[in-house]
Amino acid sequence: MRQGASNVVFVEGSQSTYLMRDLYANATSQVANAAAATFVNQTVGDYFRTTNLNDPTKVIKAIAELNGTLVFLNPSYWGSNRDSDKVTVIHEILHNITGHTDDDFARMLNGDLSSMLRRSCL
Ligand SMILES: [Zn+2]
């Protein structure tokens, strides 16, 4: 975790043209292929614009590169809740260092990673 935190590169993602599928390029080939099929040429900026303002559970605050160092931030959703921001940073770095997807974490934890972090780390 310390290494991941020292290596992480935060990027303002709202206008980013970085391809979503490239966030998964270092994951298993199964995950990388699924991401390529799902996202095709969708950019991080495009993905952030799919956030659902009417549903707080569908807000996209950040997205991380699996087995990498990049974390893209959606600046609209930072700064109003410090604990939420801390949980998101830890959550995204865990994606960087483990290569696990949210579904992987959900299976391992029998629940949502951010919820577990909120309960265990704050
Ligand atoms: Zn996640």
pLDDT in tens, 23-40: 999 999 999 999 999 999
113 versus 54: the higher-pLDDT residue is 113
Query: Does 55 score more than 80 pLDDT?
Result: no
CA dist 7 and 20 (Å) reads 20
Domain that residue 19 falls in: 2-121
- Return all residues near 60 (Cβ < 8 A) that are at least 6 apart: 47, 48, 50, 51, 74, 77
Distance 44 CA to ligand 1 centre (A): 14
Q: How many CA atoms lie within 13 A of 2 on its CB side?
A: 0
Task: Look over the chain and give the mean of its residue pLDDT values, rounded to a whole number.
Answer: 94
CB atoms within 10 A of CB 64: 23
What pTM was computed for the model?
0.93
- What is the number of structural domains in the chain? 1
What are the tokens at 51? Answer: 């956030």
Looking at residue 122, its pLDDT comes to 85
Q: Ligand 1 is a single-atom ion; what residues have CB below 5 A from it? A: 102
pLDDT confidence bin for 99, thresholds 50/70/90? very high
